[in-house]
Structure 1
């Protein structure tokens, strides 16, 4: 199997989860709550749960494949270190401003998904020095037993960067994504890269088996848990699918990673215009992420002004920790309409960037964007 084919499948799946991610971020600015018993609202939120799991898992896979291309573990380690620190800087500066359009950085600071990805890459830069099997096995162990990281004393405020033990904001930074268990997901994704190098028939069987077992475990264990916890009278589908995301529970990881692994063989074979659209997004993940926050926030201000004569920017000064009063919230058709327009704009921007990057291999800095 060629390197091009392997990368194509990851690009397509990564592009798919990025599109889903945009739905959730439009939802943030629309003021619609994250979930609830209403099926339409619940599944609008639920489908986006695959985003961060896919983003982190395939970041590990891409790191492995890039390391195979380099043929030098030291070079890969240096790349991961530099890229990881670059992501952390972006999160605290450019992305923080795009999220909130609030230049007073001391007023609100966010440790979001890009922060988490950056520090996980920094950790992975060291971890890849370990034997390969130890990396992915340790990743699975971290994913399975990560609640033990929450047993430290609540007074260890700085520990909230690794795992939540209190509601404090260490150093004034609001931690949305902790490093554990996501570093375990990235390590497991790194191991998944070796699976993609196998003969196609064996690769497909392993993907179906691993992903199928994960899905099966989710349904068996999730059904038992949902049956035992009926407090609040929530519908069964909410109790089963409404798994904890911050930090992600083991069931959340099984629910989201299982289907992504099962779909990998089909992504290898996917052709057609829609697959190409997703691949365009997937080949420019960081460019897409940075731009989509700016475009969605700007679109929200415009939509609000058209609807009520006010941009309502004051409600977004701490985005994504924000919300609109009930009377100002959008309805779901408007949310999806804005999402569609945003994706069309992002497609043309990402296609231009992809062509520019491919046409300028001498610009080494483009590897970091």
Structure 2
């Protein structure tokens, strides 16, 4: 699969790795389902869809399938960084990761935040996936000068070892809590009575995932044998899945939320796969990235025409990510205002009273959520297709940052 680029005024083909673009695109489509649920489902902010005492299997899997999104996005960001080393020196790659990482952090707290909350009060700040990708890139910008094996080992240490701290969580009143919430333990960081920071994505476990992706990126270099890459991806994926099953069955280490026998076999299975995302536990990481590696192996060298529309989203992920929040939120807010006969001045955008102006408990059935999700993805396709074409045929430096 190729894209096009202009070199000295001539339109030429630029090779791309279709399997990575395709997986990333599928992940971006699935991700929109979760965010559509956040704004459209009546129970979105009433209880967690993975709460086995309140959920149902369809709602559970609507949330569970989106667990694959963030780790895949972070992992492939590391892979893409290593692939780019083929056309950049380590010094150039380091500078790019540093500047792009800083840009992503700024983007998270400005444009992305506004798309989610539609307010400039800054009463509430969320540290989400764009923040942690940015900070991980900043750290990686220093680590790229180390041997690749060392980077990979560091990633595995972070992934495998961070759950050792589960037994000793810090409370908000403890010394060092703020730093620890940012680095490893998800938590709310109160700034004062009216301002709150929620550290959803602590750095250490997500950095481990990016470093692992960077190490595997070597398998995608030009000189690497494609057959060998396919075998290694499959082997790594199978090992991750088997390790997840064994560790989860033992039920001792790897996730702070242990599984247990439930009221029936279906809910017992749900308990078994209901792993902790905040922060991403070892078992959560194995459960999600294992199948992704297997899928990458399976997609190697295949022409999957029916999935080609996903390639568009996979090639402009950040552009899609920002736009989809604004579109979902706008449609949800307008529908709320129309149905409840409210003007914009009557909508309360303070986080303590609503989520982006949508009151807790207001919304639609899960069926409507799915219709809205599909509509959003379809609406974004031509816009992303245009931007992908523009990006592929222009060589402006700023395009590398969007």
Aligned: 1:342 with 2:376:
yes
Relative distance call for 1:321 and 1:306 in structure 2 (3 A) is: closer
Query: Residue in 2 aligned with 1:46?
Result: 64
1:298-331: CA deviation from partner (whole Å, max 9, x where unpaired): 11113334544458953784786997544x3311
Relative distance call for 1:229 and 1:193 in structure 2 (3 A) is: closer
Determine the C-alpha separation between the residues in 2 that align with 1:93 and 1:8: 32
Higher share in helix: 1
SS in 2 for 1:177: coil
Query: Residue in 2 aligned with 1:367?
Result: 400
Query: Residue in 1 aligned with 2:9?
Result: none
Determine the C-alpha separation between the residues in 1 that align with 2:141 and 2:175: 30
Determine the C-alpha separation between the residues in 2 that align with 1:186 and 1:119: 11
Residue 201 of structure 1 deviates from its aligned partner by 1.4
SS in 2 for 1:314: coil
Query: How many correspondences in the alignment?
Result: 365
2:98 alignment partner, one of 81, 84, 106: 81
Query: Residue in 2 aligned with 1:292?
Result: 324
Aligned: 1:64 with 2:90:
no
Relative distance call for 1:325 and 1:78 in structure 2 (3 A) is: closer
Aligned: 1:162 with 2:194:
no
1:90-169 matches, cutoff 5 A: 90-105=107-122, 107-148=123-164, 154-156=174-176, 157-164=178-185, 167-169=188-190
Residue 158 of structure 1 deviates from its aligned partner by 2.3
Determine the C-alpha separation between the residues in 2 that align with 1:246 and 1:203: 31
Gaps of 5+ in 1: none
2:386 alignment partner, one of 331, 342, 352: 352
**Cα contact 1:18–1:282 (8 A) shared by 2:** yes
Query: Residue in 2 aligned with 1:241?
Result: 273
Gaps of 5+ in 2: 4-13
Determine the C-alpha separation between the residues in 1 that align with 2:146 and 2:199: 29
**Cα contact 1:9–1:267 (8 A) shared by 2:** yes
TM-score, with structure 2 as normaliser: 0.83
Aligned: 1:178 with 2:236:
no
CA RMSD of aligned residues (A): 2.7
Determine the C-alpha separation between the residues in 1 that align with 2:39 and 2:347: 10
Aligned: 1:219 with 2:237:
no
Residue 21 of structure 1 deviates from its aligned partner by 0.7
Residue 207 of structure 1 deviates from its aligned partner by 1.0
Aligned: 1:188 with 2:212:
yes
Greater Rg, structure 1 or structure 2? 2
